[in-house]
Structure 1
């Protein structure tokens, strides 16, 4: 992107390249509405400045930017951001350049880089300078957007104007007319002042959210997911159905946790409990084990005042911070939330008890410590899949096991392959044991790996290899069972037994 430094000086900053790291469990995916930026295309951000550069500053119209800021303020390091939008209009303006020799067209459409009403405030100043003793004719462009850093592109060769402006965060230049007539003498300089219009916003529907859910599922890196605007954009059964569809997409992956916010339209504890029960009524512990609800929202500084924001972004930041400090198996319960000053709702203790019993993880304000995460449970009622710490340990193991087992998919089923697989999986589990993530005084008390004739009998398909794993999380002493199936015709499957 380009940014103005001094008059007549333009600096261009290339985005920092970063390869995805699928083994990490502290990377989050945020799906929601943002001011501008690509719609439906995931963008990787490593800090709050990356978010503002790609999607613009928060404008108060949606919750996702504030949730992202809370994520990074609480220790998050990497987030994938998917802007979700309905069929919005893209702002634009026409530049009639005329017969300026060197340009590829006499007329251009100047369009915003992404749809949305944000583009209506964009102003583009263009100045043409004819040939001088100092060089050939040039065009200089200055782009001004309210509330954002202006961009300057001075001294552009006429034939390269459209290509050079692809570096802009705000506009693109599209030829929209015939080629100029043969060069002839003309004015020494010319100027144009353009204002983009026609941009519109449209709230996302369930289908746009479904598309975003599919897109995040295809990303190997995120291990945490939040949808801060979902409760505002969808209500009633549409919201419940969208959440369940999200969980059905995430659950088979066995490698990510969804943190949900209570929809802001639910004004009472009774409404909140009914909403949670609409999710848990499925009774599917596997489905519910990949989701946790945190409530109430938070009051955070925003300019001279305070703003109410959903808790999911701050909570994901806390989880990511603890992941880096202590490991994925550490519970977020008892951790302090940073950069928030109050709760959005002061719930009496009887109401807190009702929410806790319904499966909601509370955020509480405690004397001497401030705001704290007060729960670490998923929506599952099954003790084997109830705890966030256990699920995230499972996510880490699944990611690590996939990494070591995937290269073996096309090997021939043989004693050598079984030994190689057992060694690779054992190395992953030993590493988890040494960090204190697993129970027991010795490795054999913490895990067991079986890949022999008992689960691979002679009559089994020779193109398939089964490896069964039992893991005991540190607390409480409950085993997690995984089943690995290597098949030459279907790759690697990891199934929770």
Structure 2
């Protein structure tokens, strides 16, 4: 909030709220490593500046910050970020105040706001000024951490210094000593120069990534998922198991797509094909339809140099950009990738065919257009669930149907409820038809909604209501079949038939 005051006039500007919008299908969630910030707690960001404010500038040791920057540079508007970290340590130091009159305690612990080595070497300069004609005693604090913008907090009341510093992005004060003795010291001024030490990063393991997978599933807004650091943090079967766990978590949600990066080594086609084979070995088309793989990584500007970054962040930005321009039902294939200058690996055509046949979507460099997304397929081999456009249309419909059907869960099963549900679902499908997402010249050719005695016979549990939906996508494919179940004991359930 910013305020400006003139005689007789007060102007107050309040920034727009950042409430979640579950109907959107362009919001991404990134699970990975960052320089600083809360661990395991999702943070909503709407720009690269928001990312830097919450998690610090890019750190060359991690891929997720570069992926997030690529997302916003390619047109992404909103993302959730889950910082994944092992049991690291927060940098800190002791501030011995002593028996200075006005402070509530004689000692504080100064700690970095989050774990990691990022705050090591940070300086905290504290200046005490006794009472003057201008007012009571105050403390001024200046925090400088390498790589971060300095922070200054002037004129803080002594009794409120810890509370006031909760506004810092970099440090917190924790009371860590007794109250001053009755014979308090009353100096004119004092200075303390403190240095933060002891911070340490710890690589996350399967447990930390599993917790992040569970946390993202609780977020209603994200429709796109990326894990840019996963291939570095987990290898072998641990990596494969985590990906499969993620797919099993998002599968019943039916509202989000996981975009994966091929783990290193980058230039090995054999290893890429073998890794995809480890994911597809089970042959579960519904599970594999929740994921797409893009390869190879990209080369992006990083100061005067170039850096290799996973493609997932840039690709999600492209998907989000096209979502806003055309709708969720359009494929990202043949779209231009921005803010990347080269590919990390070049594959001759026979190797490209091997990767394509394995289910990997390629990023290509084409003459006259630069870097483009070439391919829009999931890992599923089933034609009904193979295409990203098909899956994202399902995600859009599921989100919209939940929105209109959710409030009806506790209504009594009756003819009136069935009619209300059919009308609500029909309104969603009509909107998709008018947007060009569905086939046919007339609505009746594009979709069908059935909620009558044929799928709700008299002998059925009266606490359960079934609504069946068939949708014909605009791109020639099989019909999409959804089964909507309202049960007073288990809420709303959407099942893909």
Q: TM-score w.r.t. structure 1 length? A: 0.97
Q: 1:90-117 deviations in whole A, cap 9, x for unaligned?
A: 1100000111222111000000000000
Distance 2:137 2:158 in 1: 7
- Residue of structure 2 in register with 1:80 after alignment: 80
- Residue of structure 1 in register with 2:199 after alignment: 199
Distance 2:185 2:54 in 1: 42
Does the 8 Å CA contact 2:101/2:185 hold for their aligned counterparts? Answer: no
| CA shift for structure 1 position 180 | 1.1
- Residue of structure 2 in register with 1:391 after alignment: 391
| CA shift for structure 1 position 16 | 6.2
- Residue of structure 2 in register with 1:462 after alignment: 462
| CA shift for structure 1 position 162 | 0.2
- Residue of structure 1 in register with 2:20 after alignment: 20
Does the 8 Å CA contact 1:101/1:182 hold for their aligned counterparts? Answer: no
- Residue of structure 2 in register with 1:278 after alignment: 278
- Equivalent positions of 1:194-343 (< 5 A) are 194-265=194-265, 267-343=267-343
Distance 1:237 1:266 in 2: 18
- Residue of structure 2 in register with 1:357 after alignment: 357
| CA shift for structure 1 position 386 | 0.3
Aligned partner of residue 238 in structure 2, secondary structure? helix
Does the 8 Å CA contact 1:366/1:372 hold for their aligned counterparts? Answer: yes
| CA shift for structure 1 position 14 | 9.3
Distance 1:364 1:23 in 2: 32
Aligned partner of residue 405 in structure 1, secondary structure? helix
Q: 1:254-294 deviations in whole A, cap 9, x for unaligned?
A: 00000000002354101110000100111001100010000
Distance 2:466 2:318 in 1: 37
- Residue of structure 2 in register with 1:482 after alignment: 482
Does the 8 Å CA contact 2:364/2:374 hold for their aligned counterparts? Answer: yes
- Residue of structure 2 in register with 1:418 after alignment: 418
Distance 1:14 1:72 in 2: 24
Distance 1:160 1:445 in 2: 68
- Equivalent positions of 1:174-185 (< 5 A) are 174-182=174-182, 184=184
Distance 2:156 2:272 in 1: 58
| CA shift for structure 1 position 183 | 6.0
Does the 8 Å CA contact 1:100/1:183 hold for their aligned counterparts? Answer: no
Does the 8 Å CA contact 1:127/1:190 hold for their aligned counterparts? Answer: yes
| CA shift for structure 1 position 251 | 0.7
| CA shift for structure 1 position 182 | 3.1
- Residue of structure 2 in register with 1:9 after alignment: none
Aligned partner of residue 120 in structure 2, secondary structure? helix
Aligned residues: 487
Aligned partner of residue 384 in structure 2, secondary structure? helix
- Residue of structure 2 in register with 1:121 after alignment: 121
Give unpaired runs (5+ residues) of structure 2. 3-12
Distance 1:122 1:213 in 2: 33
Aligned partner of residue 455 in structure 1, secondary structure? coil
Distance 1:437 1:121 in 2: 55
Q: Classify 1:188/1:451 alpha carbon distance in 2 versus 1 (closer, same or farther; 3 Å).
A: same
| CA shift for structure 1 position 184 | 4.3
Does the 8 Å CA contact 1:130/1:137 hold for their aligned counterparts? Answer: yes
| CA shift for structure 1 position 208 | 0.2
Q: Which moved more, 1:117-126 or 1:385-394?
A: 117-126
Distance 1:159 1:52 in 2: 31
Q: 1:66-101 deviations in whole A, cap 9, x for unaligned?
A: 000000000000000000000001110000011122
- Residue of structure 2 in register with 1:406 after alignment: 406
| CA shift for structure 1 position 392 | 0.3
Query: 4+ residue runs of structure 1 moved beyond 4 angstroms?
Result: 13-16
Give unpaired runs (5+ residues) of structure 1. 3-12
Distance 2:326 2:97 in 1: 60
Does the 8 Å CA contact 1:288/1:379 hold for their aligned counterparts? Answer: yes
Does the 8 Å CA contact 1:34/1:55 hold for their aligned counterparts? Answer: yes
| CA shift for structure 1 position 124 | 0.3
| CA shift for structure 1 position 476 | 1.6
Distance 1:16 1:278 in 2: 46
- Residue of structure 2 in register with 1:7 after alignment: none
Aligned partner of residue 361 in structure 1, secondary structure? strand
Does the 8 Å CA contact 1:439/1:477 hold for their aligned counterparts? Answer: no
